[in-house]
Structure 1
């Protein structure tokens, strides 16, 4: 086995110890640590060197080993060379010795052995230098080691590390052998499935970007995972299956499990959100509050070896079991374990978000080459823009001031400068809801300074009431000044006064170049797939700057089983909504009366939905209504879905387009018999969307389409897509709006809508429905 490894990775694997710390403390520690290193190294005398690169080749137990790293300092003390390792610390210096943090001295000793061997020295001096972050006082620990002493330590350390690598290597050999013999796990392909498999496989081999329109029923999960695994031909290649839905994660896990039953040898991990994974009621990642954070790193190596040697499916349940066994934070454990998995199933943000991406995979110099399979890719444009956007809300800063004031009035006063800046901005916005202003770097710096003060308060006062709420508020401030580092013509600096809640925002208008940079610089290949990538040009432009190939797979279902009816005589524009209500109610009553079953009417907004509901409720209805509430919890959502699953009478849901009921749900069989889509789904006119319109006018000459038409139509397609979820399903979709008759919208209609009928009134609608139901009567 050939091993090329950095000294820091060796010692942090074998000797690392210590508690988990919060994100704010970690950020602060990294910045201060780098500054202290530079300040200390600036005092070096002439001839002394800092950040000295070292590379040492050796043979250990038959393995070729190449060790690399950067020595903090090569200095001279008493005329002889000394290897110096510099560490910043918040601990009191008098409690520190060589055993306090074993990895610190271990790192210095590994550097010392490599340098000693390269320079043929009989012995060498090592200095461990601790610098206190506040007082800047220094504690020096000096050691001298012979070649024999260092060799013994070096050999023990490398054997522990190599033993771990050998376990990984044995698994990877089994994985490669199983991949070579892996067969498609079904006796035959579905219609269009083989075409998708071939396209994905070629795309990965060619290291390209692919957009795949894969309708429901194609079996896109296996049609992407199977060729991705078959295309793996190097140990540094791993598969990331990205999905925003828990259902999507379950389907991916089930698909991998099916291939494992057919002989695949692999390790797969499911990464879930921190809030979901956490064992504690109060989420506070400090050792004083959380036993799973206490000495997390000291317990980690044993836990990794335990689960790796005994499990292949690192599901959230398995992660919780082993995390509890070893008393580790389950979320952080999943992140650390992900580096040893072959397939990582997770949310988009672990790849594309500048704050939460997995650093070992998606930072410059990463040794792995991920293959990205991006499910439900129609969700990506708004998600990516949100990842590169930040907000400082006046209400939230006032809340932070009140909560942090418990730690001392000086901390509360630290919020005042930012509040003064917010107040001054609020006075300039007048009656406008959204105002683009020049980027204010003084404001960004004030946010950054406040974060540093809040980090001090959190470090010094571990028992603050509502500490987790404070951390959440501070993290939003961190996001704001982090995305500011990316600010260019793709962003706007804006003042927002939505519903009288004032905020300063950095809004990303187009995250495409950041997505493309991640793909080009950090990955081997990427596949974006969804049933609803319409129009394709919108997704290609907003996700990868127009780069990539595409494939469209025909629906495997009989298109005659979906009856699309357009009622173009009704305008649902804002100015015409009052006049449209009676016609919409007539259409709902006609549909509900055409056949007993479950139906949904999708509206463009809650306000419009409420206008219709108020008048509809006045009728003596022979069906029940289910009305979406904007504050529905996930549990209430499931309760509503259950109503559709177990129902004998006719019921009609009044839901909002683009909401929790319009995508990511399989309404199978008689769970859903038809939908009505009210309007073309245009987003709210003005504000951010107008800024996006102006941006895309300048960039592509298609501002209205990219800011309004295409995002709106995507919601229409998603709503219609709820009707047919299996080859046995049949149902209707009624589109109500005169704009559906426009050539622009007709050019966007998916191929599956070719069985489309135009009607001008509810009488004609009733006749079309009667004819369709009669045809599919059971």
Structure 2
């Protein structure tokens, strides 16, 4: 090792990874994968690896070790790893692997390696979570998790006001200290009780927010403000992964706000673990994680097959006509305060607008644009509704009698062209503005929010609204008028008022609100490739990985990776476990579609009999797997309804001796309880739908699952205009493929096959697992859907008839 007077030793990531790897030997796929990730990521233009690895590849550890090697090497510019996943179980898997790496590093003797000691220090890592996961007041039930963002924001604002009343730094510190101390005194202490995160009686402050002069505040946030003012950092990294549980415990021990502390220490971590919201959701990125990204950050995008569907939802925006109207009222309030309010309030509001780079005139113009949108929507929605004589007022009343939402497309879904509202915008006075007034949407939301906050300080007797509609409406208007008409589809929805749940202001969870006008105006994302490409470009390099990412060239197109000026590498690894421990069958039965699932669709008695025969044949195949498998069997249909059909047939069959459990759409708590019931005790059969949660991201360890029978293909309902628009957008995106059916296959077929592949992936999870995987539908046997299976799955697939399946399954188990 070089001394301080010698030239520093050059340590390439390739020289580090096998030292950092926490186990004696890496799998062959891990060794190759780590080297390929390092090679691609250190390309002069940066690079992304698209990695499909079946369960057992060791993808999590592979990516973590490659990332740490890149960060620790003095020869790269990487300083941080940013991990994002859509599955909580996977977040915990990353935490476990990082703990294994740290334990290994602590056991190493640095003198045995010709590298600087600090390269082998334990890794600093932090898991990011939302406020509802760490807020102490959640445990007392004082704050409903669905309302936590707004309630927390209100408490923090009031706490800030109490502290910021003073100008002098030390006076602010004294105010913050008193707020926290008074609350701690009110709580008292019980020396017999040790801290328990879930027991509010052991917390340092009362289980409800205390008050000062009749106003509630947050003592945890007050303590954090005190620490911030005095440059004290009570939460530090100690060589272990800072999980949400550990973070909350340490924060409570110090009496400080866990979420504020998490945001403060995040930049110091070498590894950040979060979910897709932290990478994609615009408000979260802007307010929290943007400074954690950059060319010095290596991205690990896990469960990457889900990112397109998640991104579509995050990049879509909706507002009610009520929200549009109320935003106009609030904006006018701000304009009036700026122009005609008391001097102190007027100056404060103008300062707030100035910080958002707005003037009262800008606000007035944006308000006019919202009014323009309301007026055109009131006319355009009835014009596009099937009842040509309906007025907007009648449609609101019509919503009262609806059982389900009714979609009103504002343009032909099969023609990516401007809708009526967008066309009128182009030819209006607003269409000639440069830059467009619509481009101020984000600034308007910020400006109005800050203006309300300033007025609350200057005019304490004035009622300030709890929801700032401009925070939602501003970005919506910006997206409605400035995004293209292929990747985005405009529609209205007429919604039963009692069932309506709208997103709260700033990207917070959904909650019930009073909606007198059940008409929702939406800009739905169909193809997120452009937006995703921008998100990927926020990082220096990275890896997108999943067990079901193929076909990779389609994935590169729909995620926008092909748009990047980066090196792109594709890796694919099949199951690494003994092939003799598993059997994979495809049952050649006529395709199982919505048309032939129910006899009510039959046009004749003969067709009715044909449908019933097909149903019986499908059941015979399901029964064969359930009867001949000596253990638990998971049966997955294309929907929950079909899972219920299978459960009903199995329960009524006297030949089936196993207990039949049915999974329906329910809470995570109910699903976990059902999973435990399935695993415990004698062999059972569990039926579910592949659009649910039990067939993806859930492990059935050891002997908990012996077979999976998938029947039908889980293509979601395609009868809505957005699905049609998405299919057309994919046709255009992949127009060079020469595939006349590209739109349907790439937009809907491939995601459906990925779900089926996830389902059969539940049964073989380790080298000792033995099991059967069955795909029941002729489309799995050949044709375009068959081609979307991985190469190794296609090679292993044995095509059988429904009549021979029982013998095949029985023979497999008798040979074991």
State the match for 1:598 in structure 2: 632
Alignment of 1:494-513 (within 5 A): 494-497=490-493, 502-513=519-530
Structure 1 residue 293: deviation in Å?
3.5
State the match for 2:313 in structure 1: 386
**More relative contact order in 1 or in 2 (CA 8 Å, sep 6+)?**
2
State the match for 2:133 in structure 1: 276
Is 1:670 aligned to 2:703, yes or no?
Answer: yes
Contact between 1:426 and 1:502, CA under 8 Å: does it hold in 2? no
The correspondence for 1:523, drawn from 526, 539, 562, is: 539
The correspondence for 2:745, drawn from 672, 688, 705, is: 705
The correspondence for 2:66, drawn from 217, 227, 237, is: 227
Distance of aligned partners of 1:758 and 1:182 in 2 relative to their CA distance in 1, 3 Å threshold: closer
RMSD: 4.0
Structure 1 residue 395: deviation in Å?
8.6
Distance in structure 2 (CA, Å) of the matches to 1:276 and 1:433: 35
Distance of aligned partners of 1:734 and 1:367 in 2 relative to their CA distance in 1, 3 Å threshold: closer
Distance in structure 2 (CA, Å) of the matches to 1:302 and 1:571: 68
State the match for 1:143 in structure 2: none
Alignment of 1:42-441 (within 5 A): 182-206=19-43, 207-232=46-71, 233=74, 237-263=79-105, 264-265=120-121, 266-281=123-138, 282=143, 283=148, 284=151, 285-286=153-154, 287=156, 288=158, 289-294=217-222, 296-300=224-228, 305-308=233-236, 310=238, 312-357=240-285, 362=290, 369-393=296-320, 424-431=379-386, 433-437=407-411, 438=418, 440=421
State the match for 1:568 in structure 2: 588
Structure 1 residue 639: deviation in Å?
0.5
Relative to its length, the structure with more strand (as a share) is: 1
Q: TM-score, normalised by structure 2?
A: 0.65
Distance in structure 2 (CA, Å) of the matches to 1:239 and 1:349: 16
Question: 1:534-591 CA deviation, whole Å, 9 max, x = no partner?
Answer: 2112211111343621111242112332322212223211111122433333223222
Structure 2 unmatched runs, 5+: 1-9, 106-119, 159-216, 337-366, 387-405, 412-417, 431-436, 497-517, 599-610, 736-741
Structure 1 residue 665: deviation in Å?
0.9
Contact between 2:532 and 2:560, CA under 8 Å: does it hold in 1? yes
Q: TM-score, normalised by structure 1?
A: 0.67
Contact between 1:676 and 1:735, CA under 8 Å: does it hold in 2? yes
State the match for 1:775 in structure 2: 815
The correspondence for 1:679, drawn from 689, 700, 712, is: 712
Contact between 1:451 and 1:477, CA under 8 Å: does it hold in 2? no
Question: 1:638-694 CA deviation, whole Å, 9 max, x = no partner?
Answer: 1012123212132x2221113211111111222111122122222322421210111
Structure 1 residue 755: deviation in Å?
2.6
- State how many pairs are aligned: 589
Question: 1:31-51 CA deviation, whole Å, 9 max, x = no partner?
Answer: xxxxxxxxxxxxxxxxxxxxx
State the match for 1:744 in structure 2: 784
Structure 1 residue 773: deviation in Å?
1.0
Distance of aligned partners of 1:538 and 1:459 in 2 relative to their CA distance in 1, 3 Å threshold: farther
Question: 1:145-184 CA deviation, whole Å, 9 max, x = no partner?
Answer: xxxxxxxxxxxxxxxxxxxxxxxxxxxx99x9x9699432
Contact between 2:224 and 2:260, CA under 8 Å: does it hold in 1? no
Distance in structure 2 (CA, Å) of the matches to 1:486 and 1:360: 25
Distance in structure 2 (CA, Å) of the matches to 1:694 and 1:426: 22
Is 1:488 aligned to 2:325, yes or no?
Answer: no
- Secondary structure at 2:83 match in 1: strand
Distance in structure 1 (CA, Å) of the matches to 2:770 and 2:466: 48
Distance of aligned partners of 1:742 and 1:323 in 2 relative to their CA distance in 1, 3 Å threshold: same
Contact between 2:17 and 2:65, CA under 8 Å: does it hold in 1? no
Structure 1 residue 419: deviation in Å?
7.6
Range with greater deviation from structure 2 (427-436 or 547-556): 427-436
Distance in structure 2 (CA, Å) of the matches to 1:603 and 1:475: 41
- Secondary structure at 1:576 match in 2: coil
Contact between 1:238 and 1:368, CA under 8 Å: does it hold in 2? no
Distance in structure 2 (CA, Å) of the matches to 1:209 and 1:336: 29
